[in-house]
Chain A
């Protein structure tokens, strides 16, 4: 690929006191990629995401976002983030879908300024993109887990980020909706050209949607296109996960 990467991680290592969580990580993500970052529980996925989001300062290695070292990066508007915790919010909080999505613009609009008609249009468009227009005036607490997750995606994309990071977004979403959820992500990636980094421990469904896969377990064990990944055999997976695993493949 000739274009320069949105995210470039070079030789990154990280340890919590004596416990090494990440070792010599190299990872590049290019514009238009839909990268699935997979790995078992405790493989350092969330730590890596925290470092990429600038929430956790690292000592070894380099992390560049849009060609800027992470500690100097200021342009957070270009990055959208859907956290694992997003669907564990207070479900009795009285906020409509519209109100929740509007929060994605709060920081961008800035202090002492109010939402205007243009912002309202953007909010409605983001809600439409995730297919939630019918629920625009419903309280989010009354929606299903899958619908709530769509609302949080809308909140993350309303500021039109170039790079969207999702940390285990399908936890607590039923199987049928997981499929629809991935279809929506593929749409965002293909039609809007949004670069996606999706973190999950579920390799099954995701491989048929992502363009690239990176496998993490302290080290990056595999990074390549998703087709090659699905061709790997049982032994490779087991080596990667450090124990026997059963991989469910979804062929389309």
Chain B
């Protein structure tokens, strides 16, 4: 693979994108999980799909390359995130209601746009399950920019994001602008989802944001360590997905998620064994 890596541009694109996505998805995912918003990632990924379908439809109807479906997907994702926030404000006691509304809305729009674009094709398939070969150099630049923006903003607002995740009431009484910080967080999440879709695909992107965190949270001490382990698990899963995807010519999304689940099972077993050995020590 190493010689091919230098030979083929598509492989370089896929590989670098994977490294970036393996970093930002678990980074934001840690905040998403501790705020119990895992399902929002799912809702947003489906809105992104409708954006992608819209782009594919434009492509088909207007002919030629108008705007990359990747950009329309990103645009829809950000708009969807803003809409979710509005809905959560409307249904204060039923905030989770925003998720099925947005999710089904996303799927509904996708179906319409996909049909208008004359149904399924390989392009759409690569957006659903990720692809090793479909990442263009242009996509890579965009994902690089998104990754930089997300990383810088998370570092700058880390202490506020952390405080808001832990105890919203305390954050508000100490004078943190909870609404603005939350808005920033949800838009960043939308950007990360749109950027990750190239590699993991619409249907599995939320898994890359939550599974590494689910494993990490079992064994880490503290929040920073949780983020660190999540990123390590995320990178490992993504690399496994890209390498197997290249050799076996399968979409990387599936392998990424299966690897992440195996890591999760290992950490659960590790925790259990540690617990049992401690019990044994106490009894002997």
Chain A contacts to B: CB under 8 angstroms: 53, 55, 76, 81, 83, 85-86, 89-90, 92-96, 98-100, 102-104, 106-107, 109, 111-112, 114-115, 137-139, 155
Chain B residues positioned under 8 Å from A155 (CB to CB): 170
Chain B residues positioned under 8 Å from A107 (CB to CB): 174-176
- The segment from B9-17, B117-125, B216-224, B276-284 found at the interface with A is B216-224
Query: By the criterion CB–CB under 8 Å, are B166 and A100 in contact?
Result: yes
Query: By the criterion CB–CB under 8 Å, are A94 and B34 in contact?
Result: yes
Query: By the criterion CB–CB under 8 Å, are B159 and A115 in contact?
Result: yes
Query: By the criterion CB–CB under 8 Å, are B160 and A94 in contact?
Result: no
Q: Residues 147-169 of chain B: 1 if any A CB is under 8 Å from the residue's CB, otherwise 0?
A: 00000000011011011011101
CA distance A111 to B181 in the complex (A): 11
Q: Which residue of B lies closest to A82 (CB)?
A: B170
Query: By the criterion CB–CB under 8 Å, are B166 and A93 in contact?
Result: yes
Chain A residues positioned under 8 Å from B93 (CB to CB): none
A-B CB contacts (within 8 Å), total count: 70
Query: By the criterion CB–CB under 8 Å, are B163 and A96 in contact?
Result: no
Query: By the criterion CB–CB under 8 Å, are A89 and B166 in contact?
Result: yes
Which residue of A53, A85, A106, A138 has the most chain B CB atoms within 10 A of its CB atom?
Answer: A106
B173 at interface, CB cutoff 8 A: yes
Contact of B162 among A99, A109, A114, A137 (CB under 8 A): A99
B196 at interface, CB cutoff 8 A: no
Chain A residues positioned under 8 Å from B170 (CB to CB): 83, 86, 103, 155
Chain A residues positioned under 8 Å from B223 (CB to CB): 94-96, 99
Query: By the criterion CB–CB under 8 Å, are B222 and A96 in contact?
Result: yes
Q: Which residue of A lies closest to B175 (CB)?
A: A107
Q: Is the interface of B mostly helix, strand, loop or mixed?
A: helix
Contact of B167 among A89, A92, A111, A139 (CB under 8 A): A89
Q: Residues 172-187 of chain B: 1 if any A CB is under 8 Å from the residue's CB, otherwise 0?
A: 0111100000000000
Query: By the criterion CB–CB under 8 Å, are B221 and A137 in contact?
Result: yes
Chain A residues positioned under 8 Å from B173 (CB to CB): 53, 55, 76, 81
B226 at interface, CB cutoff 8 A: yes
Contact of A139 among B174, B176, B222 (CB under 8 A): B222
Known: A93-B165, A103-B163, A139-B221. 17 other contacts (CB 8 A): A55-B173, A76-B174, A83-B170, A93-B34, A94-B34, A94-B217, A94-B220, A94-B226, A95-B166, A96-B222, A96-B223, A99-B162, A104-B174, A109-B159, A111-B157, A115-B159, A138-B221
CA distance A40 to B34 in the complex (A): 36
Query: By the criterion CB–CB under 8 Å, are A99 and B160 in contact?
Result: no
CA distance A86 to B169 in the complex (A): 10
Q: Residues 195-237 of chain B: 1 if any A CB is under 8 Å from the residue's CB, otherwise 0?
A: 0000000000000000000000100111111100000000000
Chain B residues positioned under 8 Å from A138 (CB to CB): 221
Chain A residues positioned under 8 Å from B160 (CB to CB): 106, 111
CA distance A104 to B165 in the complex (A): 14
Chain A residues positioned under 8 Å from B165 (CB to CB): 93
Query: By the criterion CB–CB under 8 Å, are B226 and A103 in contact?
Result: no
Known: A93-B34, A107-B174. A85 touches B221 (CB 8 A): no
Known: A89-B166, A106-B159, A111-B160. A96 touches B174 (CB 8 A): no
